[in-house]
Structure 1
Amino acid sequence: MSTFEDLTVRIQHFVWQRRVESWEHEASPNLGKVIDAVIEEAAPGPEMLALDLGCGSGQVSLRLAPQVAELIGVDISERMVERMLARAAEDGLSRVRGQVSPLERLELARNSVDLIVSNYVFHHLNDDAKARVVQLCYGWLKPGGRLVIGDMMFGRGGTTQDRQVIMDKVKLLAAKGIGGYWRIAKNAVRYLLRVQEKPIAKERWVNLFETAGFKDVHVRTVVAEAGVVVGMKSSDAGAKDSHD
């Protein structure tokens, strides 16, 4: 990992360490709809070992955990993982584990998990890191395993759909008055410079999945700005797969 990438990881760790207490209250109203879609597309089963990448304080993990044999929540922030595990204990969920790691540096055994999910996390990664983690997921999954990612899914304004999503977000924030205008300015800088949020269009998500080796890839639009992309690792995928 380059010096720049290492600095990016350190910044992300710092940011998410500070947001533990506020995250559950700051989340977009659309987030619940995307979580519902992620859980549905995951099709969890009682024999599965599941992995939640960027688990945060457990919004997806704690809903998925009762439906699988075991769940591992991974996050860059140890405080987020601690919060997720505390909530799991409060809910009597004993088969939930936590691991602290940047997703790009996570190490797991090959062909070791049945299901991988992630929600509203990948847009914080640059495009190379997105591709790298999707490839890692392919290696971690058992043959027949499934990867489900919920995220913002729009590009850089090059399509009519992109421009409509951007305009809808601007109108929504503008309706909130001065505070909304401040957020428009702040988000515009982030978007133009790709400093914090780096969403990509649905078509690019499909390409990332297919390049990594996933089959039966499809995208489900949930709200205007977000959707869920799903891919399967072939049941006959062998150990000679090149995507480590």
Structure 2
Amino acid sequence: MGREFIELFEEWAEDYDKSVVGEDPQYAEVFSNYDAILDAVVEQSVGRVLEFGVGTGNLSEKLLQAGHSVIGIEPSKEMRGIAKRKIPDLTILDGDFLIYPTPNAQIETITSTYAFHHLTDDEKSIAIKQFSELLPPNGKVVFGDTMFKTEADKNMQIAAAVKKGHHDLAEDLNREYYPTLDTMKNAFEKHGFDVSFRQMNDFVWVLIANKK
């Protein structure tokens, strides 16, 4: 359920905000247009928000600034600590996409950035079913994450990373569970959502899923 990657994020926590502004050349293309990606997620969000994979709180901060009430879920203790220092008023709880405290208020939007790919396809389907049960009619799921049009496109990016000497990125793309657009579309439609996508850079798409 993604928790196998917690140790990686505990180590990455202090440098994460440097990575998202392009200081790590291996991941500069992945985080290209980072602020625009966060803004696109915020623009599509409505009402009270449940955010998964809060990380260091960058999306949370933008959601709060836009007037949303936010409940954050984050499995990494180090990431939670940084987010709390940056945003003392943020409600942030220990949990992940599959196991988390049940919100005590109605959630209208579920958001996440750069996190859903930590789940296998089967785990993604379980999580989406839970989203459907949690959200009211017309509720939304808005994710910004690395996805690919096809497996061939993913393999092309892996080959390109190797050619550039970006071996950490290539290993990441091979190790984690980056989906195709069709995989995501089918999983959300199976659980009663209409789905659309907006490409933000060569790796990242914003997914907007509206519950019927």
Taking structure 1 as reference, are residues 38 and 170 closer, same or farther at Cα in structure 2, changes over 3 Å only? farther
Aligned to 1:87: 86
Cα deviation, 1:109-131, whole Å, max 9, x if unaligned, reads 59820111100101122211112
Q: Could you tell me how far 1:49 is from its partner in structure 2?
A: 1.4
Q: Could you tell me how far 1:166 is from its partner in structure 2?
A: 4.0
Q: Tell me, in whole angstroms, the C-alpha distance in 2 between the residues paired with 1:111 and 1:88.
A: 21
Taking structure 1 as reference, are residues 69 and 152 closer, same or farther at Cα in structure 2, changes over 3 Å only? closer
Structure number with bigger Rg: 1
Of 32, 36, 41, the residue aligned with 2:39 is 36
Q: Could you tell me how far 1:54 is from its partner in structure 2?
A: 0.2
Are 1:226 and 2:204 counterparts? yes
Taking structure 1 as reference, are residues 84 and 111 closer, same or farther at Cα in structure 2, changes over 3 Å only? closer
Of 202, 212, 218, the residue aligned with 2:181 is 202
Q: Could you tell me how far 1:143 is from its partner in structure 2?
A: 2.2
Q: Tell me, in whole angstroms, the C-alpha distance in 2 between the residues paired with 1:205 and 1:198.
A: 12
Identity of aligned residues (%): 23
Question: Matched residue of 1:72: which SS?
Answer: strand
Q: Tell me, in whole angstroms, the C-alpha distance in 1 between the residues paired with 2:171 and 2:56.
A: 28
Of 137, 144, 152, the residue aligned with 1:143 is 137
Q: TM-score, normalised by structure 2?
A: 0.83
Aligned to 2:23: none
Q: Tell me, in whole angstroms, the C-alpha distance in 2 between the residues paired with 1:189 and 1:170.
A: 9
**Structure 2 unaligned spans of 5+:** 21-27
**Conservation of the 8 A alpha-carbon contact between 1:111 and 1:141:** no
Question: Matched residue of 2:127: which SS?
Answer: helix
Q: Tell me, in whole angstroms, the C-alpha distance in 2 between the residues paired with 1:20 and 1:83.
A: 8
Taking structure 1 as reference, are residues 71 and 190 closer, same or farther at Cα in structure 2, changes over 3 Å only? closer
Of 109, 112, 118, the residue aligned with 1:115 is 109
Residue type at the aligned position of 1:76: P
Question: Matched residue of 2:206: which SS?
Answer: strand
**Conservation of the 8 A alpha-carbon contact between 1:49 and 1:68:** no
Higher relative contact order, chain-length normalized (CA < 8 Å, sep 6+) = 2
**Conservation of the 8 A alpha-carbon contact between 1:38 and 1:228:** yes
Q: How does 1:130-169 map to 2 (within 5 A)?
A: 130-154=124-148, 157-158=151-152, 161-169=153-161
Q: Tell me, in whole angstroms, the C-alpha distance in 2 between the residues paired with 1:157 and 1:233.
A: 27
Q: Could you tell me how far 1:69 is from its partner in structure 2?
A: 4.3
Q: Tell me, in whole angstroms, the C-alpha distance in 1 between the residues paired with 2:143 and 2:9.
A: 20
**Structure 1 unaligned spans of 5+:** 175-180, 235-244
Aligned CA RMSD, in angstroms, stands at 2.4
Question: Matched residue of 1:104: which SS?
Answer: coil
Q: Could you tell me how far 1:33 is from its partner in structure 2?
A: 3.2
Aligned to 2:74: 75
Are 1:125 and 2:119 counterparts? yes
